[in-house]
Structure 1
Amino acid sequence: MKFGHAFKEALEADSYPSHWVDRAVPYRQLKKILGKVREELIRNGYDPDTIQKLVAERNAEYRLESDESRYLRPKLVVRPATTTVSTLDNTTEVDSLPESTISSPPSSSTGTEPSPSALTHDNASQRKQRQEQADDGEWVDVPLDADARFFNILQQDVNELDTLQGKERVAMIEHIHVIGGEIAQVARPRKPVIDFSRSDLYRWREILELYLSAEVFFSTNEASGGARNSDRARKQLVWFQEEIGKRQLSQKFKIKSSAVAFQHFLSLNATLLQNLQFQELNQTAITKIIKKFDKRTSLGVKKMFPKVMNSAHFISESISKDVCAQLSRDVISLVPQVVDYTCIVCLSICWLPIRLDCDHLFCIRCMIKMQNRQKRFCPLCRADVIQRANETHIDMELVRYLERWFPKETKEKQRNNEDERRKELLGDLYVESAQPQCIVM
Structure 2
Amino acid sequence: MKFGKQLETEAEGIPSEWRPYLIQYKALKKLITKVAEEIESRGLSTSLLHECLEEDGGLSTVNDEEDESIPKIKYYFTAATAADDDASANDKGADQHDETTLDDHEQHQQEERILIKSPAVKRQRRSSTVTLVKELLTLTLEEKDRIKDAEEKEDQETKEVQEKHEKHIKTLVVELEQDDEFFKMLMEELQQAAMLQDVTTQKFQHDISDLETRMTKVAAPTQKTDMYNWRKIFSIYMDAQIFQGNAESDRTFRSVERAKKQMTWFVEQLGKSNLLNKLKSKESKSAFEQFVALNTELITMKHYQMLNQTAMRKILKKHDKRSGLTASQSFPEIVSTDALFSPKLAKMLYSTITTKLTTIIPQPEDYACPVCMSVAWRPIRLACSHVFCVRCLIKAQKKKMDSCPLCRHPTAVRSATALNLDEGLQNFLKLYFPQEIKEKKRENEREQAIEDVQAMTGKKYTEEQLMRMSQNRSDSKCNIM
Q: Distance in 2 between matches of 1:68 and 1:406?
A: 65
Paired with 2:266 and 2:346, the residues of 1 have a C-alpha distance of 18
Q: Distance in 2 between matches of 1:234 and 1:425?
A: 55
Structure 1 residue 434 corresponds to structure 2 residue 438: no
Give how far 1:429 is off: 8.1
Match of 1:154 among 186, 199, 202: 186
Task: Quote the residue 1:40 is aligned against.
Answer: 38
The residue aligned with 1:275 is 301
Cross-structure match for 2:20: 22
Query: Are the equivalent residues in 2 in contact too, given 1:165–1:319 (CA < 8 A)?
Result: no
Q: 1:185 aligns with which of 212, 217, 229?
A: 217
1:400-439 per-residue CA deviation (whole Å, 9 max, x = no partner) reads 1111101111111121122222222322488644364798
Counterpart check, 1:352 vs 2:349: no
Match in the other structure for 1:88:
none
| Alignment check: 8 A CA contact 2:212 2:356 kept | yes
Partner residue in 2 for 1:399: 426
Deviation at 1:62, TM superposition (A): 3.1
Task: List per-residue Cα deviations over 1:181-205 (Å, max 9, x = no partner).
Answer: 2221111111xxxx2xx22111000
Helix, strand or coil for the counterpart of 1:16? Answer: coil
Equivalent pairs, count: 372
> What is the Cα deviation at residue 160 of structure 1?
1.1
Q: What RMSD in Å do the two structures reach over aligned CA positions?
A: 2.8
How far did residue 334 of structure 1 move? 0.5
Shift of 1:304: 4.5
Q: Which moved more, 1:428-437 or 1:208-217?
A: 428-437
CA 1:199–1:375: 2 relative to 1, 3 Å? same
Conserved 8 A contact 1:180-1:331: yes
Q: Cα deviations across residues 321-370 of structure 1 (Å, max 9, x unaligned)?
A: 22211112221111111111122222222222111111111222222222
Structural mapping, 1:154-233, within 5 Å: 154-190=186-222, 195=223, 198-233=224-259
Q: 1:251 Cα deviation (Å)?
A: 0.4
1:145 aligns with 2:177: yes
For 1:412 and 1:423, the matched residues in 2 are separated by 17
2:75 corresponds to: 62
**1:128-186 Cα deviation digits (max 9, x unpaired):** xxx96674699754322222222222122111111101111111111111212222111
Amino acid at match of 1:25: I
Bigger-Rg structure (1/2): 2
Please say which of residues 232-241 and 314-323 is displaced more in the overlay: 314-323
What is the TM-score of this pair, normalised by structure 2? Answer: 0.70
Alpha-carbon contact 2:35-2:179 (below 8 Å) kept:
yes
Change (3 A) 1:140 1:308: same
1:36 and 1:236, CA in 2 relative to 1: closer, same or farther beyond 3 A? same
Structure with greater proportional helix content: 2
Query: Gapped runs of 5+ residues in structure 2?
Result: 55-60, 63-71, 83-162, 462-468
Determine the C-alpha separation between the residues in 2 that align with 1:220 and 1:297: 47
The structure in which a higher percent of residues are strand is 1
Amino acid paired to 1:263:
E
Task: Give the counterpart letter for 1:31 in structure 2.
Answer: K
Question: What is the TM-score with the length of structure 1 in the denominator?
Answer: 0.76
**Percent of residue pairs identical:** 32
Task: Determine helix, strand or coil for the equivalent of 2:414.
Answer: helix
Q: Is the 8 A contact 1:162 1:311 kept in 2?
A: no
- Code of the aligned partner of 1:5: K
